[in-house]
Every structure is written in C-alpha cells, then in structure tokens.
Structure 1
Amino acid sequence: MTDELHGKKVAILATDGVERVEVEQPRGALHAAGARTELVSLHPGEINARQSDLHPAGTFPVDTKVTDTSAEEYDALLLPGGTMNPDQLRTAPEAVRFVRDFMESGKPVAAICHGPWTLAEAGVLSGRRLTSWPSVRTDLRNAGAEVVDDELVVDGNLTTSRGPQDLPAFCRALVTEFA
C-alpha cells in the first residue's frame, strides 16, 4: 500500500449497467494508494453491474446521488464504462453538468471504455486527444476530439483507455494522474 493519494476523495460516477471490472479494479488501485472513493449515481440504493454488457454481475451500493453533490466536493472523477451506464448518464442533465463541472475545473478526470460518451454530451472534448471503446469513437470525433487507438492516453487533466484489456495501464495512470 502506498500513500500517493492520501487525503484525496474521488467520485466514481456510474449507474445501472456499469461494467463491474471497470469499477472494481480502478477503485482497488485508488484505495491501495490511499484515496477515498464515493459512488455517485442517478438514484439511491444500489446500481446493477454487468460483465461484458451481457451478464448480470451483482450490485454496488450508491454513496450519494449526483443531485446531492458537486464537483467541488471531490479531487478527481472516474467514469467507468459498460454500454448502458454512460448511455443513461448522458441523458441525465445533472450527470452531464457534474462531468462538465469537473472538466472545466481542471481537476483530473479518467474515463474507460464507453465512459467518454458522457464527456461528449458535456461538450468538453473539442480539441482533446483520447481513446475509447471502438463503437464510441465516431461520437467522440463528432464532439471535436482527436481519437486514437492506444492503450492509454493522457491529455492534460483527461486520462482515457479503450476497455477492460487496458485496466492494468489505466489503473497505474489513475494513481499517477490523480496524485
């Protein structure tokens, strides 16, 4: 266990349909580095996780609703993927505002897989370089981003990876970039 992130509080914005491994592994890396995390969602209670989008994979307890918090309360933001999760988040004005506020604040933001969809909806990708799951790339380009097919991309305060296969590099970068 290290202490690079001691005293840091990280929001994980997710809702039903989140890819389980894209919450568990990054959260584990953040905790191992001393950070505290809170799962922020659209509704209270629990959210349903998935494995490979197709299979139910248990639940995660929600710490707070996005309407009950703000970017000011956190040091960094994690946007996990799964197809259904960001598809719902990008249609919720309060989630889009939360993401936009993070990006505009300059605080670190990390997104993996389909997670950047919410960034596109927030209108914060123009001129940014990033990567994502292949099926999201056209939407990201249409939002003004330069999209590449790399394991990991760090562009200023934004860190992105393509999907679960990239989690080892993504988790290492989270700790470095969030520190």
Structure 2
Amino acid sequence: MADLQGIRVLMLATDGFENSELFEPRQALLDAGATVTLASIKTDPIRGVKNDSEPADSITPDLTLADVDVDDYEALVLPGGVGNPDKLRMEERAVEIVEDFVDDEKLVAAICHAPWLLVEADVVDGRRVTSWPSVRTDLENAGADVVDEEVVVDGNLITSRNPGDIPAFNRAIIEALAKVGADAD
C-alpha cells in the first residue's frame, strides 16, 4: 500500500453527490495516509444520493470554495452524481479551482458526471478521458478523445465512468499520488 503521508487532497462537492463516489475515494486516500479536505459552496452539511435519487449520507464540508487555496493541495478529486457537478459547474470559483489545478499540472481525478466540471473549465481539449455515457457528447464537443474504459489516465488527469469503477479509480489516484510523494522526497 502506498504511503501518502504529507499528501494533501482537495475534494469538491455539494448536495447531490453520488454517495460512493465521495466516501469511497475519500476513505481510500485517508487509509493511505493522505489528508483530505472537502470544500463546498457553504459549510452546511451536504447530502449524497444513491443511484442519483435515493437520499444517502451527509457530510459537513471543511471549508467553502471561496476559502480554497490551490497551493495547499497536491490533488483534486471530483465525485459525480448528476446534481453535484451540475450545480458546481455553475459556481465560478469551483470552475476556477479546476482550471488552477490543471494549469499547475496537479493531479485532477473526476468520476461519472464530474467531468462536466472539466468541460466547464475548458481543460479537456486534446485529452483522453471517460465518463458516464450522458456526459460523453459534452466531452467530445469540448475536444476530448472519449473512450469507454473503467479508468483513463492522461498525464495529470484521471477519469472513470461510474461507481463500479471506484476500485480502479482509487488505485489510479493512489498510484499517481505515490509518485508525487516520491518526487517530493
């Protein structure tokens, strides 16, 4: 198991996140020793969903989008769900955060519907990615090379399709962050 001590990961989410796509990567990162910070529109508790409809678990964000300093993190993880990225892509600060992580060549991982944020941030042109099927046309229209694979790693960008891909998604994130940690030593 990779040791991610000292690695700081930011997650962005709001109401409507797919429960497993937030909690499972978060727990895998914590188990590997990373520090994980959750940012949202407000610091009021946010509620997840299962299968995009059934109410699920709540979690209280650590800080607001306005309080995020990209320099404080080595990676950004974006959980899906339909409502979550749809709301976040309308938040100028959320889009700026995604742009800044990509511009700084930091790791950005997005699963399911979360690549909508990558489209909104205009960071997929020429990149190889995957997503939930209904997001693929948006990705193609933004210039991405879209494939149907459980996890796609294109440089600092990691994407997956759905909750069934979470194990591969988590492995790819942890492997990439282990290299970041090794490079910092």
TM-score normalised by L of structure 2 = 0.94
Which residue pairs with 2:4 in the alignment? 5
Inter-partner Cα distance in structure 2 for 1:55 and 1:64: 26
Equivalences for 1:24-173 in 2 at 5 Å? Answer: 24-173=23-172
Inter-partner Cα distance in structure 2 for 1:24 and 1:92: 22
How far did 1:13 drift? 0.6
Inter-partner Cα distance in structure 1 for 2:31 and 2:57: 23
How far does the alpha carbon of each residue in 1:24-82 deviate from its partner, in whole angstroms, 9 at most, with x for none? 11011101111010111111121111001110002111100010112111110000000
* Runs of 4+ residues over 2 Å off in structure 1: none
Is structure 2 residue 174 aligned with structure 1 residue 175? yes
How far did 1:176 drift? 0.4
Q: Identity of aligned pairs, percent?
A: 52
1:48 alignment partner AA: R
Q: 1:170 to 1:3 in 2, by over 3 A?
A: closer
Inter-partner Cα distance in structure 2 for 1:76 and 1:38: 10
Aligned residues: 178
Question: The residue matched to 2:113 in structure 1 has which SS?
Answer: coil
How far did 1:178 drift? 1.8
1:141 alignment partner AA: E
Inter-partner Cα distance in structure 1 for 2:42 and 2:142: 28
TM-score normalised by L of structure 1 = 0.97
Which residue pairs with 2:182 in the alignment? none
8 Å contact 2:2–2:175 — kept in the other structure?
no
Inter-partner Cα distance in structure 1 for 2:90 and 2:39: 16
How far did 1:4 drift? 2.1
**What's the RMSD between the two structures over aligned residues?**
0.9
Structure 2 gap segments, 5+ residues each? 179-185
